[in-house]
Structure formats: C-alpha cells, structure tokens
Homo-oligomer: A and B are copies of this chain.
C-alpha cells in the first residue's frame, strides 16, 4: 500500500518492500538488536527524489528514517515506528574536489574512507576519523557529528562542514551555510542540523572543508604505573604547546585484555597507557615528539617507545587497535558509553567509574581519546547482569554531568540515551523541542530520536 504509493512517486526500482528488504534495513550498529521494522525502504538518487519523498511523507504523516551505512551505535537509524527508511546508498558521488578552495562537494552516501583516499591523492586531507570510517558515510557522520582520534587536534565533523544542501520535513530544498570560509548571514542552521541525528532535515549534499595533508607524523607510546600520571601527562602536553594529533588512553583493564589477546609485550602492572601522535611540518615533528616524551617522563612514565616509520607506528597503534577485539572476549555482552569530561577531570572520572563498577560488581574497561577528555566506558557483562549494568550506566552519566562533562562525545543520543539527555541539558531541552516542532511540525523526521516530543 505504502510501497505502491511510493512507486508512483519515485518509480518502482527505487522502492523495496519485500520482507527481506524490510528486515535488512531494520538493523543498525547498536549492540541491542533491532527496534522496529520499516514498511518500505527507498533508494533516492537525487535531491528531487528526496524532496518528493518528504513532501509525500509530510502530506501523509508517515515517519521517515534517514539511513547512511547504519553503523551508528545509539540507534540513530532504527525505524522505531515503521514508516519509510530512506537510504543514501545510491547518492554516493564525490561531485567535485575543489583544489583551489580546499573544498569538496559530496553526496551523503559517500563512504568517509573513500573520500579520504581521493583527496589524499591530491595532497589534501579530511581529518575526521570515526572508528567506522571505512564503512560509515559522510551523511551519517554529519548527522551524528562524528569524531575520532584525530579530533583532538583537528576538530570534529562539524568543523569541516561548510555548506549543506538539505531537504526539510515539508519537502523544501535549501542550502545552509556557505562555500565561503566565513559567513554571518542569517541564522547558523548548518551547525544546528549537523549532529541533529536526522531529526531536523535530510542532508542531500555537503560541501566539506579540506586542509593540506600534514607532511610528517611521529608516534610515541608511554606506560604509566598510575592512572593519574597518564592524566597529568595529557594536561601537561598542552602546556608544553604540543597539540597532539591523537592522544589515546588505555586503562589497566584494557592493557591486560590487549596483552592477553595480542601478546605484544605490554606491562600488565600499568594503570595507564598513552599513544601520542603528532603531525605537521618535517621541521618540527621530531621536536614535538621529544617534548611529548619529556612530558610523559616528567609525569612518571616508566616505558616509552617512539616510532618514525609507518611500520613502527603501526606496531605502537596495535595496542590501541586491539582493544575492541580483545575486550569482547572478556564477557559475552558489552555496553559502550562515550562520555567526555574536561581533560583535568579524567582521573576523577576513571576512579569513580571503578568505584561504580565495584559497587555493582561489574567488569569495566576504559579507553579512548584522552586528549579530548573523551573516554569510552565499557561495561562487560553476562546477560543476567543487565539490570546492574543499567544502574551503573545511569551513575556514570550522573558522574559525568557532575564533572561538567557530556554524556556523549561522538555516538549521539539516538533512542538509547534519550532518557539521560535531561541530566545534561536541563532547561535547554524544552528549547530543543521548540526548534524541532518549528522545523518538523508533524514530527515525521526520525521520530523518537534524541528526545520524545
């Protein structure tokens, strides 16, 4: 029925509503399984297609669920109420790489890694690097305002989105933002839409900022007996005027898990491990990595390795890359929260996360982007421990807010965290809802995400 109408609107090849298609597009990257099955999945090829879909859905009051690669971790793509899943898979062109202005125009379905490869061929660089970058799409990255290890130096996805072409809920096509480097003409709807998880507008094109590719990279790995020492090193790094490209942290449980899994010689007595990477001009990277090493020594690091070649660097990064595969061997289930605190509060955060884990008798593993204060808190558990995990997670969020942090640095709210959003945003929540009602009065765009109206 809905499929039939949409075939009239779009033509039949772009519309799928068999059981197998519907089930395939019910799932996304969230570890809890699917929530809701779409009535139909559509594959627009142009902005006009998207405008037709939204005008139709708006007219009929049917929920629309935008979907990139479906790799989100908080259920952003889940079709909670059925309706129409709109996949960007067929809108996947890199339209133009503008070398003169350091910009690139892309469709939303372009995979982030594919974009990076193309621009790096030209000596250019698109920094945002969420863990999913080899399969997640630019459209999804923008909708979630994705981060990644390099964001400590280079900023998040938002910082690279200059202009968007979007379709609003009523089918209006508009450009927001500017191809010019600066613009203060009217309200900044662009940065409002970035990170709004597909609830305010559907992104049909993005003009992204590029930067020159850094000339050189150096990497160091430092091991600290005490977690406070690692945190101190992170804070001191910035004081020594080293803004690292990446500054990744592993706690004791991560180190032990990685060592058991990969046997790469990490000292399992250590409470903290940092991987520090710097990049920039050839003339300066050696000095920067020396400064970083000095900072780590002064803070109490006991073992420090540095790497200059790509191969050596890969070896150091193994410690970080092995974390995810290593920890899933610890317990059958995990819940991964990505809280962020001001850098100086990292020791308090970690200590109190351990306290909470002890209180609920749970295993917890902490690692992540220490340079940003963004720590992935992973509770590893057996199915029967789920209730305790839920209580522990709530305490972690309360702790994070008490430390003036944020309950999500990268993964978004989706449906999974919406009950916790008021903890952080307080009275601003009603204003967010007012904005949602203003831009999507019928609540058809990704309903049930971020908050309930």
- Interface residues of chain A, those whose CB is within 8 Å of chain B, are 98-103, 123, 144-145, 147, 151-152, 156, 158-159, 168, 172-176, 178-189, 191-192, 194-196, 200, 211-213, 215, 235, 238-239, 241, 243, 280-281, 283-284, 287-288, 340-344, 372-374, 404-413, 417, 421, 424-432, 434-439, 450-451
Contacts and interface: CB of A to CB of B under 8 A. Distances in A.
A235 B428 contact: no
Given A191-B188, A192-B191, A178 B406 contact: yes
Contacts of A283: 283-284, 287
A374 B182 contact: yes
A434 B428 contact: no
A186 B401 CA distance: 14
Given A151-B182, A182-B410, A189 B342 contact: no
A189 B428 contact: yes
A175 B428 contact: yes
A368 B179 CA distance: 18
11 contacts: A174-B426, A174-B431, A178-B424, A184-B412, A186-B421, A186-B432, A188-B196, A189-B428, A189-B431, A191-B192, A431-B439
Given A181-B374, A426-B175, A100 B344 contact: yes
Residue in A174, A196, A406, A431 whose Cβ sees the most chain B Cβ within 10 Å: A431
A387 B439 CA distance: 39
A282 B123 CA distance: 25
Residue in A183, A239, A283, A374 whose Cβ sees the most chain B Cβ within 10 Å: A183
A451 B185 CA distance: 10
A207 to B, nearest CB: 9
Given A179-B404, A212-B239, A280-B284, 5 more contacts: A103-B342, A123-B239, A181-B373, A181-B374, A184-B406
A408 B185 contact: yes
How many copies of this protein are present in the complex? 2
A451 B189 CA distance: 15
A411 B283 CA distance: 38
A413 B428 CA distance: 26
A341 B179 CA distance: 8
A218 to B, nearest CB: 13
